[in-house]
Amino acid sequence: MVKQTAGRDQLGDFAPKFAELNDDVLFGEVWSREDKLPLRDRSIVTVTALMSQGLVDSSFKYHLMSAKNNGVTAEEMAEIITHAAFYAGWPKAWAAFRMAKEVYSE
């Protein structure tokens, strides 16, 4: 089971229910359903969904790092972003590439 505490760490006092849902449901239950969809595939879906919304903030970086840790190679990430660019938008791909290049060079 994926253990996440970011919600409680950052929002526990201000928004305890949101923090609980983030940590226990999203990252605890949903991300832990590896028998239904492997973590590697979940990472690909998540990175693509965030990119398509233009969300290339710290959460995007976190999910890029997770994708890398879950076995998505730099070459695969470049192909994923290139493919998604035609559906999500070229400027969004440029922004995603800037962050992906940084994550994969670490």
Residues 6+ apart with CB under 8 A from 66: 39, 43, 46
Dump the DSSP string for 29-40: IITT-TTTS-HH
Helix (H, G, I), strand (E, B) or coil at 46: helix
Q: What is the pTM assigned to this prediction? A: 0.89
Domain boundaries defined on the chain: 1-32, 38-105
Asked if pLDDT for residue 103 goes beyond 90, the answer is yes
Mean pLDDT value of segment 71-92: 98
Question: Residue 59: left if φ>0, alpha if ψ -120 to 50, beta else—which one?
Answer: alpha
2.40.50.40, 2.60.40.2250, 3.20.20.370, 1.20.1290.10: CATH of 38-105: 1.20.1290.10
**For 31-74, what is each residue's pLDDT tens digit?**
999 999 999 999 999 999 999 999 989 999 999 999 999 999 99
User: Which pair of tokens denotes residue 68?
Assistant: 């890398």
